[in-house]
Each structure stands twice: as structure tokens, then as C-alpha cells.
Amino acid sequence: QVQFVESGGGLVQPGGSLRLSCAASGSISIYAMAWYRQTPGKQRELVAAIINGGRTIYADSVNGRFTISRDNAKKTVYLQMNSLKPEDTAVYYCNADGGYLNWGQGTQVTVSS
């Protein structure tokens, strides 16, 4: 089964930007892909999803600030995050849309002044 390695997280001030990457160990071309996030004590939530036709879906809380994209040739999914807010602080994961593949370790995003 495909494995994912997320990277690009870090500490950023409110209003700042980060670009997350998700490298897959195998082909992702057949999957709709998504980014999720989780904070302690809460369920993992869908942040954004992208299907192979290019259609994208965003959670209301990030719509207009985050952009999901994919490069099937590089087996990589990206999440560009702009205008970050403290409430965006979480561990971010990628997976197939629906979350039915193995989860990676995630990448920590902390938005704080």
C-alpha cells in the first residue's frame, strides 16, 4: 500500500504562509487526494481535497486561504497555506480522500506570535 511522508510544517506568525508537501511511495494517479488536520482531543478533519480532474474542495474555515495541488509525475501533493491563523495550528496529514490508506506521521504546523 502507498505510504505518505508529509513535510514543510513549522512555526509561523499569524498572517504568514507555509507550503506543505506530501511525498507518496507509489503512484497516486488513481486516487482523489486530500489533506487533513488534527489537534489534541479532536477528530481528524478534512481540510482540502483534489480529484484528478482538478476539481478542489475546501473546508469553510480555510476556503480562500489554502490551495491544494498535485503532481502525479512526482507522486506529490501540496498544500499552500496563506494568511495563517492560530486556529490553523494542528498536525497535518495527507491521504486518499476518505482516509482509507495508511496514515503518515504528519507535519506539525504552529501559528503563534
Tell me: the pLDDT tens digits for 3-16? 999 999 999 999 99
Q: Which three cell numbers stand for residue 68?
A: 491544494
Query: Average per-residue pLDDT in the chain?
Result: 96
Buried b (16+ CB within 10 A) or exposed e, 92-112: bbbbbbeeebeebebbebebe
Q: At residue 111, does pLDDT exceed 90?
A: yes
Which grid cell is 71? 503532481
Write out pLDDT tens, residues 12-58. Answer: 999 999 999 999 999 999 999 999 999 999 999 999 999 878 899 99
CB distance 28 to 21 below 8 Å: no
Please, is 77 exposed, middle or buried when counting C-beta atoms within 10 Å of its C-beta (0-12, 13-18, 19+)?
buried
Place of cell 504528519: 106
pLDDT grade for 80, boundaries at 50, 70 and 90: very high
